[in-house]
Amino acid sequence: MTQRARNWLLIAPSGALLLVMLVLPLSFVFVFSFGERGPSGGYVPAFTLEQYANLPARWTAFKNTLILAPLGTLAALLIAYPLAYQLAVRTSPKWKTLLLVLVIVPFWTSILIRSYAWIYILGGQGIPALLGSIGIENVRLIYTPFAVTIGIIYGYLPLMVFPIYVALDRLDMRLLEASSDLGARPATTFLRVTLPLSVPGVATGCMLVFILLMGEFLIPALLGGGKVFFVGNALVDLFLQSRNWAYGSAVAFTLIVIMLITVTIYMRLIARLQTGREDVAVM
Amino acid sequence: MRLYSLVVYVFLYAPIAIIALFSFNAGRHASDFQGFSVQWYGRALNNPFVMDALETSLIVAFITATLASILGTLAAVGLQGLRGPARAIFDALIYIAVMIPGIVIGIATLIALVTVFDVMNPWIENLWGDAEGAPRLSMGRGSLIAAHTMFTMALVIIIVRARLGTLEKSLGEASADLYATPLGTFRQVTLPLIAPAVLAGFLLSFTFSFDDFIIAFFVAGSETTLPIYIFSSIRRGVTPEINAIGTMVMLASLLLLIVAQLILRRGDRK
């Protein structure tokens, strides 16, 4: 058997699985999005743009996703960065690994269980009751955009910390010393040396979190209580409750297109930022 | 700065601690603590619905992880020597698999399989001759395993390929010069070197499959996995029993993580 034939044989099973379980299903979504809803739900073949014309009916779900996904990503970044910096730059090597593992461990346990814990904390007998006892009455936290944002930060913080940590950990400490030897204040060193060199980590973290958030269902379902819902929640409703497959397919396909466009623009921006900084890095 | 890190760690662990604490609540009501008791652990372990769901989740996760690590490793090795458009298409598919949200994978698999099964079931009945006894294709463990394997296999390919990329090409060449067959080279040179990556892929696949709610929600049919059971219970109200299950699941994940770390460390030292 030639080497070439062997390679083909090795990738054949996974190729077949990708065709049957990825390409075929996604083609169904595309085709169904031009169809019509059957009398008792499901799908009737047709070629119409009606489903796409109806998209504004689910505008709130798209709006919530497109506001809270970037906002949640940004909030997670702002909280993760100082922690990653502390771990990578300021912690002694002896403790580094343990402290990093402690950040990542929660991510390895079910996001479902971790999210519902916030129902306790933000619910009537949690923080609002505590605030009530010091005289701040009638604070409502659960089932608000705030609750969903907290859930997002909580759920995805480990995923944000890790790539930033990796980028900062690789940082050549001599660069920081050189900067301070040349008279730069710590803040200047951070802004002009540390921060630019950690951009790849920040970019990776943001992209991972953003992609996952665009399809989020659990966090808004548990902490948004039907009031704050994402496209993911609309999809569950369309496919499992109202069984409107054609319209649901149009919503799903639109979500994919929006994601592809945002991620492409984002990657272009990051690439430009990187090449713009190349001269600094080479120095 | 230190204080800041401490606050973040409290933020990360307080919710987990609260679940563990309330799982020992003697009272029925989830949110006020009425004394210490382990009765909910007993209840959970004696609840047939919980045990069925756990069994389904474990079986699905184990088969998924096994298939994904085998198929993924084979593909990663095969892709090493492949160039041209086939390689580009395969790479694109892997990235699509990883990038597409789980929820879209779930609905796409649901509508595709239900439609295909609706077409195929009458055929099978015809071939069988007996409409009553004919096997029927339907959503269930099989479709769930297939969907989970597709996604986690893509992860395994990425992980194993990263490891393969760091290996010296000369090792394989040396092995071939010493008259090892390609299979012998793979077994005695390549496989031991990529074993940690394969194991990491296996564990990642297992954890993903065991914890996944959203894909299972669409493609599990009438089967109930543990996350589906927990989700539908929470919908009816959080009980100490759910907290006990959650605590056990988190402990099990933690143990798995520690064991994996130990194995990987030992592999590195060799």
Q: Kindly state the percentage of chain B with pLDDT values over 70.
A: 96
What residues in B contact A3, CB-CB < 8 Å?
81, 182
Q: What Å distances lie between residue B56 and A82, B48, B53, B231, CA to CA?
A: 41, 12, 5, 16
How many whole angstroms separate alpha carbon A251 and alpha carbon B90?
A: 27
Identify whether the C-beta of residue A113 lies closer than 8 Å to the C-beta of residue B254: no
**Cα–Cα distance measured from residue A79 to residue B45, given in angstroms and rounded to the nearest whole number:** 39
d(CA A93, CA B82): 41
Copy the structure tokens of residue A79.
């909280």
The pLDDT of residue A280:
45
> Hey, which residues does B87 pair with through a beta bridge?
none
- What residues contact residue B101 under an 8 Å CB cut-off, 6+ apart? A211, A212, A214, A215, A232, A255, A259
Instruction: Assess A129–B contact: CB distance below 8 Å, yes or no.
Output: no
Nearest residue in A to B70, CA atom: A14
- Burial status of residue B237 (CB atoms within 10 A of its CB: 0-12, 13-18, 19 or more): exposed
pLDDT tens for each residue of B48-60: 999 999 999 999 9
Report yes or no: A156 and A213 within 8 Å, Cβ to Cβ.
yes
Give the C-alpha separation, A210 to A66, whole Å: 10
* Per-residue pLDDT at B46: 94
Cβ of residue A157 closer than 8 Å to a chain B Cβ: yes
Query: Do residues A75 and A154 lie in contact, with contact meaning Cβ atoms separated by under 8 Å?
Result: no
A229-251 tens-digit pLDDT? 999 999 999 999 989 999 999 99
Is residue A34 one of the residues assigned to a domain? no
Contact between A255 and B101 using a beta-carbon 8 Å cutoff: yes
In a domain, A192, yes or no: yes
**Whole-number percent of chain B with pLDDT over 90:** 56
CA angle (B188, B190, B195) in 5-degree steps = 100
pLDDT in tens, B216-257: 999 999 999 999 999 999 888 878 889 999 999 989 888 888
Residue A50 lies in a domain: no
Q: Is A123 on the interface with B (CB under 8 A)?
A: yes
What ipTM score was computed for the predicted complex, to two decimals?
Answer: 0.90
Task: Read off φ and ψ for residue B122, nearest 5 degrees.
Answer: -60, -40
Question: Block means of pLDDT (10 residues each) for chain A, length 283 residues?
Answer: 85 96 97 91 90 94 95 97 93 88 87 88 84 82 93 95 93 86 88 89 94 95 91 95 94 95 90 66 39
CATH of the domain at A65: 1.10.3720.10
Spell out the alpha helix ranges (H) of B23-47: 39-46
- Beta strands (DSSP E) in A197-240 are none
- pLDDT of B267 reads 61
Instruction: Name the closest residue on chain A to residue B93, using Cα atoms.
Output: A18
Cα–Cα distance, A154 to A122 (Å, whole number)? 13
Over residues B106-115, the pLDDT tens digits come to: 999 999 999 9
| Residues B208-223, mean pLDDT to the nearest whole number | 95
Write down the residue that tokens 């210490």 correspond to: B36
Q: Is residue A232 domain-resident?
A: yes
Q: Is residue A114 part of a domain?
A: yes
Interchain proximity A110–B249, CB inside 8 Å = yes
- Window 33-92 of A: residues touching B by CB (8 A cutoff) are 43, 79, 82-83, 86-87, 90
Phi, psi of A109 (to 5 degrees): -105, 155
Q: Quickly state the pLDDT bin for B182 (edges 50, 70, 90).
A: confident
Per domain, the residue ranges of chain B are 48-269
Per the document, the length of chain A is: 283
Task: State the CB neighbour count (10 A cutoff) for residue B73.
Answer: 29
Within a 10 A sphere around the Cβ of A179, how many other Cβ atoms?
Answer: 18
Q: Look at residue B268 in the predicted model and tell me its pLDDT.
A: 60
Q: What is the pLDDT of residue A134?
A: 85
Coil, helix or strand at residue A41: strand
Question: What average pLDDT does this structure show over B115-127?
Answer: 91
Question: Nearest-CA neighbor of B151 among B200, B90, B209?
Answer: B209
Residue A250 CA to residue A234 CA, distance in Å, equals: 12
> What pLDDT score does A105 carry?
86
Count of domains for chain A? 1
Residue B158 distance to chain A (closest CA, Å): 13
pLDDT, mean over chain B? 89
Domain of A270, in residue numbers: 58-282
Which tokens go with B229? 């059971």
Question: Which residue type, as a one-letter code, is found at position A130?
Answer: L
Distance CA(B244)–CA(B241), nearest Å, equals 5
Closest CA to B254 of B13, B9, B8: B13
Q: Is B25 helix (H, G, I), strand (E, B) or coil?
A: strand
CATH number for the domain running over B48-269: 1.10.3720.10
Which residues in chain A touch residue B94, judged by CB atoms under 8 angstroms apart?
18
A258 has a chain B CB within 8 A of its CB: no
